[in-house]
Chains A and B, each alone.
Chain A
Amino acid sequence: MSTVLKKNRKPPAGKDRRSPPPEPIRNPGLSRTQLLEIHRHLRMNRMVEDKLSALYRQGKIHGGLYSSLGQEGISVGSAYALAPEDLLGPMIRNIGSLLVRGVTPLTLFLQFLARRDAPTGGKDGTLHFDDLDKSLIGPISVLGTLIPVMTGAALAARMRGESRVALTYIGDGGTSTGDFHEGLNLAAVLGLPLILVVENNGYAYSTPTNRQFAVDSLAERGPAYGIASESVDGTDVLAVYEATRRAADRGRRGDGPTLLECRAFRRRGHAEHDDMWYVPKELLKAWEARDPLDRFEAFIVDQGHATEKDLRAVREAIGADLDEAARVALDSPYPQPEETLRNVYFEPE
C-alpha cells in the first residue's frame, strides 16, 4: 500500500544565520557634519533605550518594551536617507527613525511612562503614535498591517502629484503575513514609491528564520513581485543609508517600490520580559562583535572625524539630556480617569 517516506519527516535544513563577515564601512560622500549627526542619532538611540530599560526594571513603564539593540543602524540609516516630507512609518523597533525625524527623548519617555502629555495622552505605553506634522505614520501593532497603509500613503502622494516616497519597516516574521503580500503586490502593480525595509533580525519572537521562509535572503522576494530588491548589512549604517537613497531615487523616478533587506540580529528578547533562552549563545556573541555603533565609532575615529575624547563628550552630553528628560517625564501627571474615552475615536473639531 502506502510507501512510508522517512525523508518526509525531516525538518527543513537549518540555515546559517550569522551572515557573511562584514565589509568595511565606506563613506558614500557624506560630510563630517553629517557623519557626526548620524553618530549622535545612533548613540541617542542606544542610550534612550538603555534608559527605558532601566525605567522598565524600576516598574515605571506600563507597556511592553521592544529593544532595537544591534539594529539601530537600520532605523537611523534609512530615516536619515529620506527627505523630511517623505512619509515614514516606523515599527516598534524604530526609535532611531523617530529621533532622526525630530521626536524628542522627552516625548518618548512621556509616552512609555503613559503620562497625560504624551502623544497618546497615556492611552498607549509604547510607540503606537503618529505625528502627521513630521510625516510620521504610527505603527500598527498587528505586524504587516502597516504595509498596505503605507502603500495607500504612497498612492495618495502620487495622486496629489507630490514627489514624496513612503518608507516602512517589517521584521522577518512579518514577511509571512498576508498583509505584507497584499501591500507589496499592490505597490508593485501600481508602481508606487514604496520602500519596504525588512529588518531580518534572525528571530520572530522565538521562531528562527529557517522556520519562517525557505529562501536564503528575503531580497529574493523582490523578483517575485517584479520589483527592485537589495540585501545589505544592517549593522553598517552607511550601507543602509546608501541603499535607502537608491531606493528613494528609484521611487521618485517612478520606477516603483523597493524591497530592502537589512541583515542584523535581535540581541535582546522579543520584548524586555523575554529572556530568549531559545537563542544560541554563540549567535549572540558573533553579532555582538559587529555592533553597529561600535563599528561606526571605530570608522569615524579611524577616518579622523572624531577622537575617543569627542565620543565620550557626546555620551556625557546625551546622558545629561536624558537624565533631565526622564526627570521631567517622571514628574509629569498621569491622565485623569475622565479622559479615558477622549481621543479614542475621531472627534470632529
Chain B
Amino acid sequence: MLTGERRATARAAAASPVGRPGGEAVLVPGDADLLKMLHFMKLTRALEYRIERKLYRQGKIVGGVYVGRGQEAISVGAAMHIRRGSGEEHDDIVSPSHRDMAVFLMQGVPPERILAQYMGRKTGLTRGRDGNMHMGDLRHRLIAFVSHLGDSIPVAAGCALTLRMRGTDQVSFCFFGEGATSRGDWHEGLNFAAVMRLPVVFICNNNQYAYSTHVSRQMRVERVSDRASGYGIPGETADGNDVLAVYDAVGRAVARARRGEGPALLEFVTFRMTGHSAHDDAGYVPKTLFEEWERKDPIRLFEDELKSRRLVDALALKEMESGIESELDEAVAWAERQPYPEPEECLTGVYHE
C-alpha cells in the first residue's frame, strides 16, 4: 500500500478522465453560463466565509458548521445541469451533501434563509429545528441531507425509481464524499440503482479526508470511480477543482440518465481546505497538502480562465465581489432580525402532519 501522502500526490497528478460515459463530445457552457458559474462559486465561498469565520466565531451559529471551501467547482459545475422551475413532472430531484452549499443556492434557496437556518431562526428551512446543513425543501426539489453519511444514496436511488415509474426523463442527483463510499448503505443504494438501471447520477467529492481518515485508509483502489465496475455501471474521474471538467462529466452522465441508460459514478478529486467542521483544526493534515491545493484553488483557476477568455477583468471581478458582499450584508441583517421559534412549536413539523 502506498503511504498516504505519496498516494494523494499520485492521485492528484493523475486526475483525468478514465473514460467518457455518455459521449465523446466535450460539453462547453456558453458565456452567460460561465459568468453564472463564477458568480455562484464566489457567492458560496463568501456565504460560507461569513458563516464559518464570522458568525460562528461570534457565537451566533447554533449548530456545527461544515463548509465546502475549495470544493465549490463540484457543486456548481454539477448543479448547472439540474433542470428546475418547470413543475413536478419535469424538474430534477437533488440530494446534496453537507459540502454542497452552492446546490442550495442554485436551486433557488436565498442566502438569508440559509443564514436563518444556521442561526436557528424560525424562518430557516427547518424552522429552527436544526442549525446546520440538515435541510431540504421539496419546493426547490431538495431532499434534506441525512446526517448519517451514505444514507442519502438509497434515498436518491428511491427518488430515481419514482422518476422511472413516472416514465419521464427526470434525473436524480446524488452528492457524497469519498468516506461515504465505504458505507453499507452506499453499496446497497448503488447496486440497486445499477440493477434497476435508474436515472441517477452519483457525484463523489473526493476531498481525501473523511474527518481524519485519509483516503488511503478508506479504500484499496486508486480511484473511487474504480468501484463502478463492480456494479456494472460507468465510472469516471475528473479534476474537481476544474469547474469546466465537472460541467462536462456531469452533463454527459445526466444526458445518459435522461436517455434511460442508467446510473454513472463520477469522482471529482479535490481537497478539503478546512477541518471536518469549524471546531476541527485539521492538525492531522500535512501543511504541505494545504499549500499544494491552495495553488489549485478552483475559483482563482476559473477566474484566470475567464480573464484569458476576456470574459472578465479585474474591475468586473471587483464589481461581482462587492455585489455579493452587499447582498450578504443584507441577508445577515435580515436573518439576525428573524425570531427564534416559540417553545410551544417544538413538536410541530417534526413528524408529518
Contacts and interface: CB of A to CB of B under 8 A. Distances in A.
A154 to B, nearest CB: 15
Interface in B242-267: 258-260
Contacts of B197: 12, 214
Interface residues of A, number: 39
Interface stretch (B104-112, B163-171, B278-286, B335-343): B163-171
A181 B167 contact: no
B217 to A, nearest CB: 6
B168 A189 contact: no
B220 A226 contact: yes
A2 B169 contact: yes
Interface string B1-31: 1000000000000000000000000000000
Given A1-B90, A5-B259, A178 B226 contact: no
B39 interface: no
Interface of B: 1, 86-87, 89-90, 164, 167-170, 182-188, 191-192, 194-197, 199, 217-222, 226-233, 258-260
Contact of B220 (A7, A8, A188): A188
24 contacts: A2-B89, A2-B168, A3-B168, A4-B168, A9-B167, A12-B196, A177-B188, A178-B187, A181-B186, A182-B182, A182-B187, A185-B182, A188-B219, A188-B220, A189-B218, A211-B195, A213-B231, A214-B195, A214-B232, A220-B229, A223-B226, A225-B227, A225-B230, A226-B222
Nearest to A212: B195
Given A7-B259, A8-B164, A214 B184 contact: no
Contacts of A179: 184
Contacts of B188: 176-178, 181
Given A2-B89, A182-B184, A211-B195, A7 B221 contact: no
B191 A213 contact: yes
Given A182-B184, A226-B221, A1 B86 contact: yes
B199 to A, nearest CB: 7
Given A185-B182, A220-B229, A213 B194 contact: yes
A4 B184 CA distance: 33
A140 interface: no
Contact of B229 (A7, A182, A224, A256): A224
A212 B191 CA distance: 8
B232 A220 contact: yes
A224 B259 contact: no
A175 to B, nearest CB: 8
Q: What are the 6 A-B residue pairs with the smallest beta carbon separation, nearest first?
A: A178-B184, A224-B230, A226-B220, A181-B187, A214-B232, A7-B260
Contacts of B226: 223-224, 226
B3 to A, nearest CB: 14
B338 to A, nearest CB: 37
Interface string A213-224: 111100011111
Given A2-B90, A213-B231, A214-B231, A181 B184 contact: yes
Nearest to B196: A12
Chain A at the B interface: SS class: helix
A222 B220 CA distance: 11
A6 B166 CA distance: 11
Contacts of B219: 185, 188-189, 225-226
A334 interface: no
Nearest to B227: A224
A73 interface: no
Contact of B195 (A12, A188, A221): A12
Contacts of A221: 230
Nearest to A180: B187
Interface in A163-202: 176-182, 185-186, 188-189, 191
A227 interface: yes
B76 to A, nearest CB: 26
Interface centre among B183, B230, B260 (most CB of A within 10 A): B230
B220 A227 contact: yes
A9 B196 CA distance: 10
A8 B167 contact: yes
B182 A214 contact: no
A220 B230 contact: yes
A224 B187 CA distance: 11
B169 A1 contact: no
A225 B199 CA distance: 25
Nearest to B185: A178
Contacts of A5: 167-169, 258-260
A155 to B, nearest CB: 14
Interface string A90-111: 0000000000000000000000
B220 A225 contact: yes
Given A181-B188, A215-B231, A225-B227, 14 more contacts: A3-B258, A7-B259, A8-B260, A9-B164, A10-B260, A12-B195, A176-B188, A178-B186, A191-B1, A191-B220, A215-B232, A220-B232, A225-B220, A226-B220
A19 B186 CA distance: 30
B213 to A, nearest CB: 10
Interface in A19-54: none
Interface in A203-250: 210-216, 220-227
A5 B199 CA distance: 11
Contacts of B217: 189
Nearest to A9: B167
Contacts of B229: 215, 220, 223-224
Contacts of A182: 182-184, 187
A203 to B, nearest CB: 15
Contacts of B192: 176
Contacts of B196: 12
Contacts of A212: 195
A64 B168 CA distance: 44
B170 A2 contact: yes
A92 B187 CA distance: 24
